[in-house]
Chains A and B, each alone.
Chain A
Amino acid sequence: MGVYISSALTLSAAAALTADFAKIGYQKITGTITASTETAGFPASAANNELTGTYWKPTAMPATWEIDAGAAESVDYIGIAAHTFGTDNTSVAIEYYDGAAWQVIDDINPGDNAPIMFIFTQRNEARYRLNLTGPTVPRVGVVFVGKHLEMQRGMYVGHSPITLSRKTFVRNNISEAGQFLGRSIVRTGSGTSYQWDNLTSTWYRENFDPFVVHAQTKPFFIAWKPVTYSNEVGYVWLPEGRDIMPSNSGTLDYMSVSMDVEGLAHD
């Protein structure tokens, strides 16, 4: 589905201006992973790694998946990808434990299997969880819990949203006599590029470069315009051989940076 800006999110006037700037979810807290139930071969821990091909799958609904950091950790986003919430008609609530009871941050029924980012007012708790309800057990491949990176500038022209950037490689077979014999989709995917200009060099070095280091090896969540286009979230990674490198721009101390990505954005 997309980005869920928590109704409890309180924005200052300045923050309201940047709310629609791209949000990148790459940082993850670490902790002990547990779940209410696990199907054999689908352990809870499988949702705590970046792989989209390994899953947690409960044996019964409702089901919970929890990360216990052991001590309070700042968290303002939860990303979920490679799930089947749409297929299985699953409702998902994200919750934190206040020492006495579980408190709901937000809950939704996404209606599709696309990547999700919950963005909410920063919490400082030790335990967070997903609480799933629905008629059939879904599977969940990726869960990120942590603090997101908000870009310093917005994106305005030239961007092709990842959810609209389908890459479909097809092949047709036509007979010697010109008859249509068959058409196959060889592979599908999503891919796009992002570009930001006029980033201050200090901001880039302090905030964006740590993300670049992460992106060298691991996927991340990204919502390019989370308020205006809340459905357009990707769980993406860099194509092989495409490092992110900034360039200085103009006489002021600004930098520009772009990156190509590919990954999951649809069902």
Chain B
Amino acid sequence: MTSETTPGRQLIQLVEIQQPRCALTYGVAPCTAAIGTTGTDKCYNTNFTCQDTANYDGTDLIKWRFTTQNANRGSDFYADDGTTIENNPIPSLISASTSPTKLNVGGGDKNVSPFGRRSALNVVLKDHAWDDSIEDKYVSERSYDAFTQGSFWGKWLARDPYYSQYVCIVYDGYFGQALSAMYARTYQLEKIDGPTRDMVRIVAKDPLRIADDKRSVIPRPIEATLSESLDNSQTSGIRISAIQADLTSQIGVINAGSHVGDLFIRIKDEIISYTSIVAFGAFWELVGATRAELGTTASAYSINEKVSRVAHYNCELQIAAQDLLQTYAGVSSAYIPIADWTTERDAYLTLYDVEGTIEKPTSINKLMGELSEQCLLNWWWDERDTEIKMLAIRPIQGTPPEWNDDFNIIDGQLSIKADQSQRISRVIIYYNKIDESKNDDETGNWQSVTVRIDANAETAEQYNESRTRIIYSRWLTTNAQAFQVAVRLLARYRDYPHYMTLQVDAKDRASWTGDIIEITTRHDQDVAGADRVDFWQIVTAEEVTPGHTVEYELQRFEFGGIGGYAHYMGNTANDWDNATDAEKLLGAWHTDINGRVPSDNLKGYPVQ
């Protein structure tokens, strides 16, 4: 079997588009379509051509596959299980290139959102004649010859313009491999241009792109006004003209603190909490209202004053992130491994339970960026694992792969740069906002501030300048949180962060975004001129020649000098030989006098 380590491995790349189609048969119950009544010809089992949309059942699927023009020999992937057809690859793929995800660790790169850069896939396919044998159940009944009339993409696009968010997968492998043995990267269709000059150009992006959409905001704008005037103290008789659901939906997640169960509205600069509403004629009256909430000041308002909703979170950070992405950006829950996120939070981010208020429509991208920067973690779309990863900025787990000049790094493909723009010597974090209605940069409106300065870095002997990063945090509430953020950011960025770009052969392509690599290269030396052995974290990964060469951009890893990271364990914890995986992940044991665990001969870490 051909694999990454087979000399002369023959590359194959396939692009798959998953197109839903109706499971019903035209005119057969429950489909009520009938020629002469609902249309002049039968449908093409797409929603757009459906003549009985009330009964459209898009649970069947066609997995359209395309491959490079000379790569068809031996590719026999056809399958049909009655609901999903997987076609044999059509040899019309001209190119499939990617713009990879980029992590912005600690928000250091001001050219990229702290939420990172989205990955994108660009595919060019040749258009061609097509006999409709896969997709048209009624091809033999048509009045025309499908092969000579029109083209594949001309017909496909005319029959199914609702392709946005269809799943698009790129497989990179070798001739003779099963699809399951190939590396797969998953995206969502965004647009298909063409056919132009007998080609179509397809753009697909990672599912987090919808968090970038300007329409993905929280709280969502509503149409609501006061139906009666309001003085500056009344807590009853607050009546609003609005759609009921706009006033009853919980915006945000509150499962801790004093506001559990509360809902919030905003009138001008005042935030009012309430617990429910009751009908009052054509209007809705607030129940359990409290004026001047969240540091705001009560005022009197006239009838018809605009009313808007306010979002409030008081929960674990991964729960806030899940709600933002799933509820307000529309990211599929299938892509959010909340159990894994919670495990990561429980191990490394227990300090970061967040409380924050969003008083006006704010993009999900901005809020996720704030959480990333202020809680010291990254989220990104992992196109290989088909899920959104959450990773704390934390020490290494396990033993990273080792790469070196001999066996891994391709000749002439390594470069190192220092990004001077990211260096900082001071971190100032404002938190606990007093009046949520006021702008962030009104520094007098913050109850707490943490300042951390690396004075040595500012001396004439070192960098001879002061560089400050200011964070206005809606999420942090304690000095412990703010202090740790400031210390970690300074540790990572008090010196120029170094980035390494290198290429490796496909035999090393198992490593991907977020992974840590131990790298030894003559291009990175210590003060004695010896090759330095150091840890680097992958911030972008791209198969530049799929199946042959992978290019990585890595950032020198802050925790490189630390071997492990451990918690104190309870007095009933197992010893090493009986320890569970969870205990080994977080726990600590003393080694023997030789610094090793006798049963496994593992070397322990020095306590620092």
CA separation between A243 and B412, bound complex, in Å? 41
Cβ-neighbour of A179 out of B10, B87, B407 (below 8 A): B407
Most A CB within 10 A of own CB, among B72, B85, B507: B72
Tell whether B80 is near chain A: CB-to-CB under 8 Å: yes
Tell whether B471 is near chain A: CB-to-CB under 8 Å: no
Identify the B interface with A (CB < 8 A): 4-5, 7-11, 68, 70-73, 76, 78, 80, 85, 87-92, 128-129, 131, 133-134, 147, 405-412, 414, 504-507, 521-522, 545, 547-549
Tell whether A8 is near chain B: CB-to-CB under 8 Å: no
Whether B91 and A174, one on each chain, are in contact in the complex, defined by CB atoms closer than 8 angstroms, is: no
Cβ-neighbour of A182 out of B89, B522, B548 (below 8 A): B548
Cβ-neighbour of A175 out of B91, B131, B411, B547 (below 8 A): B411
CB-CB contacts of A138-176 with B at 8 A, as 1s and 0s? 010000000000000000000000000000001101111
Identify the A interface with B (CB < 8 A): 39-43, 45-46, 49-55, 82, 113, 139, 170-171, 173-179, 181-189, 267
Whether B129 and A49, one on each chain, are in contact in the complex, defined by CB atoms closer than 8 angstroms, is: yes
Whether B407 and A175, one on each chain, are in contact in the complex, defined by CB atoms closer than 8 angstroms, is: yes
Whether B89 and A181, one on each chain, are in contact in the complex, defined by CB atoms closer than 8 angstroms, is: no
A-B contact pairs, 28 of them (CB 8 A): A40-B80, A41-B78, A41-B87, A43-B133, A46-B131, A49-B147, A82-B72, A139-B76, A173-B548, A175-B408, A175-B409, A175-B410, A176-B409, A176-B411, A176-B412, A177-B406, A182-B7, A182-B506, A182-B507, A182-B548, A184-B506, A184-B545, A185-B8, A185-B9, A185-B10, A186-B11, A186-B545, A188-B70
Chain B residues within an 8 Å CB radius of A176: 405-406, 409-412, 414, 521-522
Chain B residues within an 8 Å CB radius of A185: 8-11
| Majority secondary structure, B binding face | loop
Whether B131 and A45, one on each chain, are in contact in the complex, defined by CB atoms closer than 8 angstroms, is: yes
Q: Known interface pairs A41-B133, A54-B133, A183-B8. Does A173 touch B549 (Cβ–Cβ under 8 Å)?
A: yes
CA separation between A114 and B505, bound complex, in Å? 33
Cβ-neighbour of A187 out of B70, B92, B412, B522 (below 8 A): B70
Q: Known interface pairs A46-B131, A53-B88. Does A184 touch B11 (Cβ–Cβ under 8 Å)?
A: yes
Shortest 6 CB-CB distances between A and B: which pairs? A176-B405, A181-B505, A184-B548, A182-B505, A173-B505, A185-B10
Shortest beta-carbon distance from A179 to chain B in Å = 6
Whether B522 and A53, one on each chain, are in contact in the complex, defined by CB atoms closer than 8 angstroms, is: no
CA separation between A51 and B407, bound complex, in Å? 43
> Closest residue of chain A to B85, judged by CB?
A41
Whether A174 and B131, one on each chain, are in contact in the complex, defined by CB atoms closer than 8 angstroms, is: no
CA separation between A183 and B505, bound complex, in Å? 9
**A49-B131, A50-B129 known; 18 other A-B pairs, CB under 8 Å?**
A46-B133, A53-B89, A53-B90, A171-B548, A173-B548, A175-B409, A175-B411, A178-B411, A181-B408, A181-B507, A182-B548, A183-B7, A183-B9, A184-B547, A184-B548, A185-B8, A185-B9, A267-B73
Chain A residues within an 8 Å CB radius of B4: 182
CA separation between A176 and B405, bound complex, in Å? 5
Chain B residues within an 8 Å CB radius of A187: 11, 68, 70-71
